[in-house]
A and B are shown apart, each in its own frame.
Chain A
């Protein structure tokens, strides 16, 4: 369906990633947020609070992150599209409700604008240290969808995508931003309503009494029901049957937990997105995401100017991970370089998937700023030299 054009600021804006994210949420039909401020994510909610009165939305300032995240989930079950916005310390506090959203199959978007950690860390400075928390942070066994924007424009685009995926698969979707992308101001083009596609909530047309809230369709995703139309529903974080009532035994657990995982994994081909550049005939590949992917492009330009055949694969979805694409890539290149603003997180997944098909080189960074392009360039250069694919002398040898 098309978005409500009254809520769209169609045109060209010069705004930061946080504000672009708020506009993406409004474009996707989000009309509720409950928030507790935390740098560097506060501007997302500030803009929503400012814009919501003009589009019929509601913002509630909460007493803490626990209240914020559960209130957002309540709004979804009341019929709203809703968003929950935070940064590392708040993300940690919200883990319980993220798991509750996964277990109750609540379509909702959580945004983590990553800053340096652990704990309070570096409130105003960037990191990408929550990537594994996005995957494994909540307890129990579940799968999440996580997207990584690398520009303010993508903060807009991927917030819409996050809402669409959350509705399509009735699941929480994470937007893993970083401080640089959140606070960087650039041109953001907001399309007209005709050029955007919004996935509406999939409501049942079954009558109350016939409808089961957790009965999946063939795609493993169950429909929802509209509040106030006579359906009596039961939502619980306990292991439940298709009606939503607790059934605490191994069979029900197995059926439910496997379906929750399968609905992401078996549908991964519809979810996974990467951006590839210069990979045809490449000897070396750089795998990066978020702001680091942009910095890496500068390093790649430097290396290509030296004659090194190096390309890039940018993770737009970090989770589910583009396993098959990486496996294919690993059999085509001699090394994969993985820069990230943490001490090596997504590189673990790259190594797991590559499984020895090629070398994997981590270019780690504790955060607080971004890599210097020359740090990534040095890793590309040493990978090329080791693989014997340097076609020109090293810069230092000329």
Chain B
């Protein structure tokens, strides 16, 4: 089986790398698959554009870079502009609908938006934005299991924030399930 290619793009500080870390860890340590995370990273990375590339596979991963993502998450307009053209045919785009105005996309691309930042603010802590995104991603793609994602969150975030982060995951997960239901109805 070929690797599932995932790219998450946004701004430094949004927790893009942490989101990739949790997905990779969920697949690799809790779903017993293989996963590789690469962070795109220039000397200018802090506060500017940043992205995480995650590969998930049933077999060992040889080529560690995402060439043409099937699954793209964009949390900033720049990330959308830069990465949307890389999406492969039939790919899935997830985006923060307050941060990203969708441009023209091929008809085969399925899109799912959520107000990630607004939801994070409603939980009282903007920093959980990325966990909302991880929940949304898990629901939409099914690439990592719910149980694995929760386990990865528990062993990644600071202990005092586990409950809040798991709650953020649930909020994003519920959003994802409801978007999926909207599309199928």
Q: How far is it, in angstroms, between the C-alpha of A124 and the C-alpha of B29 when the chains are bound? A: 27
Assess whether B62 is in contact with A370, with CB atoms less than 8 Å apart.
no
Which 8 pairs from chain A and chain B are nearest by CB?
A: A185-B37, A14-B25, A298-B62, A187-B28, A297-B62, A294-B62, A298-B63, A12-B29
A116 to chain B, nearest CB (A): 13
Whether A373 touches B28, Cβ cut-off 8 Å, given contacts A183-B41, A184-B38, A187-B35, is no
B18 to chain A, nearest CB (A): 11
In terms of DSSP, what is the predominant structure of the interface of chain B?
mixed
Besides A14-B35, A186-B24, 13 other A-B contacts (C-beta < 8 A): A12-B29, A14-B28, A16-B37, A124-B42, A184-B38, A185-B24, A186-B34, A186-B35, A186-B37, A187-B34, A294-B63, A294-B64, A301-B62
B120 to chain A, nearest CB (A): 24
Assess whether B62 is in contact with A185, with CB atoms less than 8 Å apart.
no
Whether A123 touches B63, Cβ cut-off 8 Å, given contacts A14-B25, A184-B37, is no
Q: How far is it, in angstroms, between the C-alpha of A301 and the C-alpha of B3 when the chains are bound? A: 15
The total of interchain contacts (Cβ-Cβ below 8 angstroms) comes to 57
What residues of chain A lie closer than 8 Å to B65, measured between beta carbons? 369-370
**Max chain B Cβ within 10 angstroms of own Cβ: one of A14, A186, A294, A301:** A14
A interface footprint on B47-88 (CB within 8 Å = 1, 0 otherwise): 000000000000001111100000000000000000000000
What residues of chain A lie closer than 8 Å to B37, measured between beta carbons? 14, 16, 184-186
CB-defined A-B contacts under 8 Å, sample of 30: A14-B24, A14-B25, A14-B28, A124-B41, A124-B43, A180-B38, A183-B38, A183-B39, A184-B36, A184-B38, A185-B21, A185-B37, A185-B38, A185-B39, A186-B24, A186-B36, A186-B37, A186-B61, A187-B28, A187-B29, A187-B34, A187-B35, A294-B63, A295-B62, A297-B62, A298-B62, A298-B63, A301-B62, A370-B63, A373-B63
For residues 133 through 192 of chain A, which have their beta carbon under 8 Å from a beta carbon of chain B? 180, 183-187
Q: How far is it, in angstroms, between the C-alpha of A12 and the C-alpha of B28 when the chains are bound? A: 9
A308 to chain B, nearest CB (A): 17
B interface footprint on A290-304 (CB within 8 Å = 1, 0 otherwise): 010011011001000
B49 to chain A, nearest CB (A): 14
Q: How far is it, in angstroms, between the C-alpha of A33 and the C-alpha of B29 when the chains are bound? A: 30
Q: How far is it, in angstroms, between the C-alpha of A123 and the C-alpha of B64 when the chains are bound? A: 19
For residues 14 through 40 of chain A, which have their beta carbon under 8 Å from a beta carbon of chain B? 14, 16, 39
Q: How many residues of A contact B (CB 8 A)?
A: 22
A230 to chain B, nearest CB (A): 50
What residues of chain B lie closer than 8 Å to A12, measured between beta carbons? 29
Q: How far is it, in angstroms, between the C-alpha of A369 and the C-alpha of B66 when the chains are bound? A: 12
Assess whether A184 is in contact with B64, with CB atoms less than 8 Å apart.
yes
What residues of chain B lie closer than 8 Å to A13, measured between beta carbons? 29
Q: How far is it, in angstroms, between the C-alpha of A186 and the C-alpha of B65 when the chains are bound? A: 13
What residues of chain B lie closer than 8 Å to A124, measured between beta carbons? 41-43
Q: How far is it, in angstroms, between the C-alpha of A301 and the C-alpha of B29 when the chains are bound? A: 26
What residues of chain B lie closer than 8 Å to A180, measured between beta carbons? 38, 64
Assess whether A295 is in contact with B63, with CB atoms less than 8 Å apart.
yes
For residues 1 through 44 of chain B, which have their beta carbon under 8 Å from a beta carbon of chain A? 21, 24-25, 28-29, 34-39, 41-43
What residues of chain A lie closer than 8 Å to B25, measured between beta carbons? 14
Q: How far is it, in angstroms, between the C-alpha of A369 and the C-alpha of B40 when the chains are bound? A: 12
What residues of chain A lie closer than 8 Å to B41, measured between beta carbons? 124, 183
